Each structure stands twice: as C-alpha cells, then as structure tokens.
Chain A
Amino acid sequence: MADTEKTQINDIDHSMYDFRYEETEDFYRIKSGLTPEIVETLSKEKGDPEWMKEFRLNSLKIYNELKVPEWGPSIEGLDIENIATYVRPNTKMQAKWEDVPEDIKDTFEKLGIPEAERTSLAGVGAQYDSELVYHNVQDEVAKQGVVYMGFEEALKSEQWGPMVKEYFMTLVTPKDHKFAALHGAVWSGGSFVYVPKGVHLSFPLQSYFRLNAKGAGQYEHTLIIVDEDADLHFIEGCSAPKYNVANMHAGCVELFVKKNAHLRYSTIENWSKNMYNLNTKRAKVEEGGKIEWVSGSFGSHVSYLYPESDLVGKNAHAEFTGITFAGNGQNLDTGAKMVHRAPDTTSLITTKSISKGGGISTYRSAVYIDKNSKGAKASVSCQSLMLDSESRSDTIPAMTVLTDDADVGHEAKIGRISSEAIFYLMSRGIPEDEARSMIVSGFANPVSKELPLEYAVEMNNLIRLEMKGTL
C-alpha cells in the first residue's frame, strides 16, 4: 500500500520569505524617529518639488495632532522613535534586470518576480526598502500609451508631474487618520499608472514591495488612474523577513476609476510577524465604472486594512473578495468599506477568515448609503472559521442607510469545522486530519479562486494555506 501523505492545518509558512541580506555600508539610512528635521532631510534626499516638501511638513503637523485609534488591535509595541522612515538601498532604479545589484536581484529571484514577468505580466515594479530598484513595462503596452513608472519619477516628470499633483492624496487625505498623515509626511517610492481612454490591458501589471531593513518603515505610494472605458488588472505583493524588532508599513493606494472603466486590484500581503501593517487603500469609481478588490492577508503581527470604494457615479460597482488567515502571534483586523454616493450603485463584499494557534482575526466593515444613492444595492457575506479554542474571531459589520430606496443584505456565520462533515469524510476512508484540511481548503476556495494565477510562486504557497505537513 502506498504511503498516505498525512496532512494537518499549519500556520502559514513564512520561512520562504525570511531570507535576508544585511544592509551594507553603501545603504543610506535616515536616523530613527519623526521630527520636522527628519522630514526635511528626507524631502531633500528625494529632491522633492517645493510643494511636496510643504505637503510633507503639513502632514507631519496633522500626524502630531491626531490620536491613535481607540478601536482595533493594540499598537503599543510600535514606537515611531525606533523606526527609520527612510532606507535607500545601494542602487538607483534600473530598467534592466541585469543592472540590479546581486543581493537585491537574488531576493526578488527567490520570490519569483522575474519569472512571473517573463511569463504573464505586462509590467513589473520592484521596491526594496524605501526605493524602487526596478521598473519595466513591455514595449507593446507602452505603445498603447500606458504609463507605468516609479511614483517619484512621475512626480518629477514634466508630462506627468501635474497629474500627480492634481491627484496625490486627494482621495486619502492626511486628515483621514494618524497613519495617513504619517504617510503624507514620509512617503517614499511606489508606482504611478495611467491607462489611457479605451485601452484594455490583457496582462496584469505588478508591483512587489520588499522591506528588508530591520527596524524600518515602508511608505510607498501607489496612484493608478484608469481612464474612461479602459481596463486594468494590477497586482500588488508585499513581504519582509522576520526580525525581533517592530517594522512598519504605512503605504497608501489611491485608485481613480473613470467612466465605464474597470480595475481589478489584487493583493497578497505576507509581511513577517514583526510587521505593523497600517495600510490605507481607496478607490473612487465614476459612472458605470467597476472596481474589484481581491485581497489575501496572511502576514504581519498587526494589520489594519480596509480598502474603501467610493461609488460617486451612477451605476458604479464595487466588489471586495478577501481572505485572512491569522496564526500564532497575529492580530489581523481586516475588511472593507463601501460608500455609495450616487444612484443605482451596487456593492458586494465576500470575506472568509480563519483563526488558528492563538491568532486573532477581526472582520470589520462599513456599508454607507447616502441620500443620493437611490436604487443602491449592497450585499455583505462574511464567514469565519475557528480552528482551536486559543484563537479568536470577531465580526464587526456596520451599515448606514440614509434613503428608503435601497436594499442592503448582510449575513455572517462563525463556527468551527462541523463534526458531521469530518465524520462523513472519515466514513469514506479519509483520515481525520486530512478531512479537516480538505474542509478548510473548501472553505477558502470561493475566495482563493479569485486570486490571480499569474502570481505563481508566492500565491501557490499562500492560497492553499500551506496545509500539508507530517503529523
């Protein structure tokens, strides 16, 4: 009889992301902490235009005035005085993969980024610590007028600089919350994408963010404008090796989906378990436009992540499909916000969360339908699976409706793996642990099937929840 491979449900295996390279002498690291002097130095290092320097200093002022949230997981272990807000690797941004320094190249090779670019992507950006180290877009895509460049390059570009100034932090303003203000003060790196009217990209663009430095923060800014009738799939990936000190990620994503345009924004977040992930993502969707968020949250010590869709045009539509796996030492507070501000807008939230080994998973959402949103429809479905009694899973959905001409539906379920289902599978010769794995896999499947296949190496490991292991 052939050996049966026994399986159990493990935590996500982060070890493949834990390789790291030490900062060498030619790395530049700004001193830890957050003062106007540090912000001015950062601005000078980056060669910001004057307006951006003022924007940063004003954001810092707002940061100092705002309080940390009273709700959500504790971030007491995060001391901004111990975080270096800017670490520049030993290279400038390269357009050829061969020109990227060996150690950085090796990092991204291990994550499978160049392989994915060759096989299935229209363009790739790779950020290492605070700076983009590689950016490339296929010629055919560039010929269609698609712009995919480093955010700072766009800021300083004569052609795209005015557009950046027009849109930058107008959707997520520094006053939104303390960490949006922090982002406004110390942002660095990120991507700028512009898809012209009517252009449909048949392959996705991908940005990958790697925070390698110890005790540092990553604050990349992603600005995407999908013009009328255009279509884009954008993939974002994040990872970091594990250190015994806190690291921080306070990125910002602003997405502008114009009339009848479509944008799918997929994220696989697999930060290490010392990471405080305080990210802000928002999309503004105009008439007939459509935003689809696909989100996998597997890593980080603490996460606050709730992509928001502002449906401002008639018939605009938003979907959020997400999965969160909280293992030992993790407190992941994730969900979505749907804000309906125009007639006949529709939204759909589908989430799954799994808690194991003392992990805490919180689903938090808001559906807000304002007075103008006649004919709006919103539906929310969230399911949580508890794999042991050490873990915790909370669901905190809120709904506000300010018009009678709306339909909102919400359903949520929480529980453990049904013993009847295990019994059924066991009665058909499947060992108990394998049955449990199959059920968890099935639970996650409706969400994981939405994640982009193109994200080969990393995704395969994460979507299938790394459940195989020897008992």
Chain B
Amino acid sequence: MNIDKKINNIPSLTWNWLKMNSSELKVNSELKEKSHFSISKIPHGVTFVEDAEKYMMSIAPVETGTGKEISAILFDNEIIPSALIVDEKTKVEEPVICDFSCKDKHYSYSSQIIYAKKDSEITVIMNFSSETKAHGLNIVQTKLYAEKNAKIHLITTQTLGKEFIHVNDIGTLGEENSKIEVSQIELGSKKAYVGVHSLLKEYQSKFVSNTAYYCRDDQELDMNYVVKHTGRKTDCNMKVAGALNGNSKKTYRGTIDFKNGCQGATGDEQEETLLLSPSVVNNSIPVILCDEEDVAGEHGATIGRMSEDILFYMKSRGINKESAQRVLCQAKINRVASKIPDENTKKMISKYMDEVLYE
C-alpha cells in the first residue's frame, strides 16, 4: 500500500519556508488486512444504518478538515459509510460508544455519518486504540449533520500504538440554532492527523471544539481546524491545549472564516502549548479571515515552558519540578476528559496518562 497525499491544507496560504501550508501523509507498508469497529447498544430513538449510501447525498455539502484527498482514498477503496440517525425530538442520555480496536499490522478505513434530526440530542464517543507496540494505519472520516435545534457532541480519544498512523477527518454542518461540539484527546500513535471543518450555515448555529494532547518521544501531531461562518449570529469557540515532550512535533492550524453576510457572527480560538523538552517543535498558525464588518473575532496563543510562578507555587507546597509538570500535563487532558459522559472511557484515559507520564 502506498499513499502520498497532501492533507490538512490551510485555507489561506503563507510563506512556504514555514512548512505550515499543508502536511504530507506518506504511507508505504505491507498492511493488507482490514480491521473494524464495534458499537455499543443502540439507544431508543437512534437507528444504526450499516450501509448508509442513501444518506450520502444529504450530507454531500459537509466538507471535512483534512481535505478532499482523504475522501478520494475512501472513494477509491469503495468505503460506504455507516450512519447513526437520531429521530426528531429524541434526547439520547447515554452516549453511543464506538470502539476502534486496531490490530497490529492491520489497516482500516471507515466512514461514519451522525445525523441528528430536529430538536434531537446525541453524544457519540469514538475510542481509537491498539496495543502499545502495534503498527498500522487507521483512517476515519466522520460527518456530522445537525438539523434545526439539534445538538451533537462527538468525543474522540486516540491511544493507538507507537507505530500507528492515524487520520481523523471530521466535517460538520449545522442548521438554525443547532450546536455541534467536538472534543478530542490525542495521546497515541506515531503520526496523528486531525482535520475538522465546520460550516455554520444557518442562523445562530454554533460550533465548539475542545482538544487536548500530550506528545512525547518522536510523535507528530498535525491539526487543521476550519470554521466557516455564513449564517447570521453564528458562533464558534475553539480551544486547543496540550504539552510537548521528548522530540515530539506539533502543528496547529486554526482558521475562523467570516464570510460576507454572516452579520453578528462571533468566533474565538485559543491555544496553549506547554513545552517540556529542548528538542520539541511547535508550529502554530491561528488565522482569522474576515469578509464581513459586523463580526467579532479573536484569537490568542501562549507557547512556552512552565512559568516560574507556577513552579515556585508548586515547590512551596513540596511538589518537585517533574511532579509539577506531570500535574500540568494531566490537567490539560482532564479539561477535556472531564466532559466525557462515560466512566470507562475516563478511566482508560486516566490509566493511559499515568502510564505515559511515569514511563
């Protein structure tokens, strides 16, 4: 299997020497077998459709964050999406949990649709995991569509093995007064590509994303978040926070794109990066594109090591530097993990963090 694609393209290019305009997904391996995912009990009011080809037309306008190249790979491999359809006015209390337990030396492609009809609510958790030393490829594409007043919360956790390549490609579209939230915890794999594209097309639709990560050794995390505002009074709020250790590398691209006509729209993106090793590489490019006067956009970024004030505070309470760093790393992950409405997933994340922080 050979893949050589440019993905996670930034909507507005800048200097090439910064190497942030896009990323290269290169895979050259003998992976031949597919692996699949399992799904928890389907709650009342939700339908799981294994072959959701007929829904593809209705979600066609949903673009995804890593770009068209990933859609092309899925198309070339004849991947038909499955779908979770939430009935009108159904508020699902228990989350639907999809486990992608990836096997060593396996590859997997999958595509999902989460479709929430009017006034419905659903939370879906996707856990991507494998054995610690496993190697392989996992490409997953998820398209979220929220009808009027509907709410979708997608949570993804990624604890794949050290030699895995993971591509998590997400696209969302919300109708009037809808809310789509994407929470992500990125901890594993050798290279992880995360792309999220959100189209806020209709009045008062809202997008929220919360991302937490901890990268160590030679891990690479490459992110591309794009929110397009075309509807009036739409709102987005993106937060990315994490820590880099060892020789790890992280690239964060975040774009808020206010299109002409999105009067009253607001957008905010914030990034925090904690640097823990002299060999880390951090790239950040938080972009605001504005073609409308009546908007308010903000972005902020703080990148650096643990401040002397925090260290002093910790030491004065008997916590040494190493322990203080672990506490801060854990806190960044917990900020997102605390939003997970499933105790097993929370425990799994907590256990994983304990292992990697003390390894």
Binds B, one of A124-132, A181-189, A411-419: A411-419
Q: How far is the CB of B237 from chain A (nearest CB, A)?
A: 15
Check if A412 sits within 8 Å of B288, measured CB to CB: yes
The reply to whether the CB of B139 lies closer than 8 angstroms to some CB of chain A is no
Q: How far is the CB of B308 from chain A (nearest CB, A)?
A: 10
Binds B, one of A98-106, A242-250, A397-405: A397-405
Check if B13 sits within 8 Å of A70, measured CB to CB: yes
* Count of chain A residues with a beta carbon within 8 Å of a chain B beta carbon: 37
Check if B293 sits within 8 Å of A402, measured CB to CB: no
The reply to whether the CB of A391 lies closer than 8 angstroms to some CB of chain B is yes
Contact with A along B250-288 (1 / 0, CB 8 A): 000000000010000000000001011110111111111
Q: How far is the CB of A35 from chain B (nearest CB, A)?
A: 28
Check if A391 sits within 8 Å of B285, measured CB to CB: no
Binds A, one of B14-22, B32-40, B53-61, B189-197: B14-22
Name B302's contact: one of A398, A404, A409 (CB within 8 Å): A409
Name A386's contact: one of B13, B278, B293 (CB within 8 Å): B293
A328 vs B327: C-alpha distance in the bound complex, in angstroms?
53
Taking CB atoms, residues of chain B closer than 8 Å to A401 are 273, 275, 280-282, 303-304
Check if B15 sits within 8 Å of A398, measured CB to CB: yes
The reply to whether the CB of B301 lies closer than 8 angstroms to some CB of chain A is yes
Taking CB atoms, residues of chain B closer than 8 Å to A399 are 282-285, 301, 303
The reply to whether the CB of B296 lies closer than 8 angstroms to some CB of chain A is yes
Check if B300 sits within 8 Å of A410, measured CB to CB: yes
Q: Using A398-B285, A400-B18, A409-B302 as known contacts, say yes or no to A392 and B295 having CB atoms under 8 A apart.
A: no
The reply to whether the CB of A200 lies closer than 8 angstroms to some CB of chain B is no
A377 vs B77: C-alpha distance in the bound complex, in angstroms?
48
Q: Which residue of B lies closest to A381 (CB)?
A: B300
Check if B295 sits within 8 Å of A416, measured CB to CB: yes
The reply to whether the CB of B217 lies closer than 8 angstroms to some CB of chain A is no
Name A400's contact: one of B12, B282, B305 (CB within 8 Å): B282
A426 vs B40: C-alpha distance in the bound complex, in angstroms?
60
Check if A389 sits within 8 Å of B294, measured CB to CB: yes
Check if B293 sits within 8 Å of A388, measured CB to CB: yes
Taking CB atoms, residues of chain B closer than 8 Å to A396 are 12, 14, 285, 287
The reply to whether the CB of A364 lies closer than 8 angstroms to some CB of chain B is yes
Q: For chain B, residues 291 to 315, give those with C-beta under 8 angstroms from any C-beta of chain A.
A: 291-305
Name B291's contact: one of A71, A392, A413, A416 (CB within 8 Å): A392
Taking CB atoms, residues of chain A closer than 8 Å to B278 are 371, 403-405
The reply to whether the CB of A408 lies closer than 8 angstroms to some CB of chain B is yes
A399 vs B275: C-alpha distance in the bound complex, in angstroms?
14
Check if A366 sits within 8 Å of B15, measured CB to CB: yes
Taking CB atoms, residues of chain B closer than 8 Å to A389 are 260, 292-294
Taking CB atoms, residues of chain A closer than 8 Å to B284 are 398-400, 410
Contact with A along B117-131 (1 / 0, CB 8 A): 000000000000000
Check if A366 sits within 8 Å of B18, measured CB to CB: yes
Q: Using A364-B14, A392-B290, A404-B276 as known contacts, say yes or no to A415 and B296 having CB atoms under 8 A apart.
A: yes
Q: Which residue of A lies closest to B13 (CB)?
A: A71
Q: Which residue of A lies closest to B17 (CB)?
A: A366
Taking CB atoms, residues of chain B closer than 8 Å to A364 are 14
Q: How far is the CB of A134 from chain B (nearest CB, A)?
A: 37
Check if A394 sits within 8 Å of B289, measured CB to CB: yes
A71 vs B22: C-alpha distance in the bound complex, in angstroms?
13
A401 vs B271: C-alpha distance in the bound complex, in angstroms?
14
A394, A398, A405: most-surrounded residue (chain B CB, <10 A): A398
A151 vs B301: C-alpha distance in the bound complex, in angstroms?
42
CB<8 Å pairs between A and B, sample of 6? A391-B293, A401-B304, A402-B280, A406-B305, A408-B303, A416-B295
Q: Told that A396-B14, A397-B287 touch, could you supply 7 new A-B pairs with CB distance under 8 A?
A: A394-B288, A400-B283, A405-B278, A408-B304, A409-B301, A410-B301, A414-B296
The 7 nearest A-B residue pairs measured at CB: A71-B13, A404-B275, A407-B304, A410-B301, A408-B303, A386-B293, A414-B297
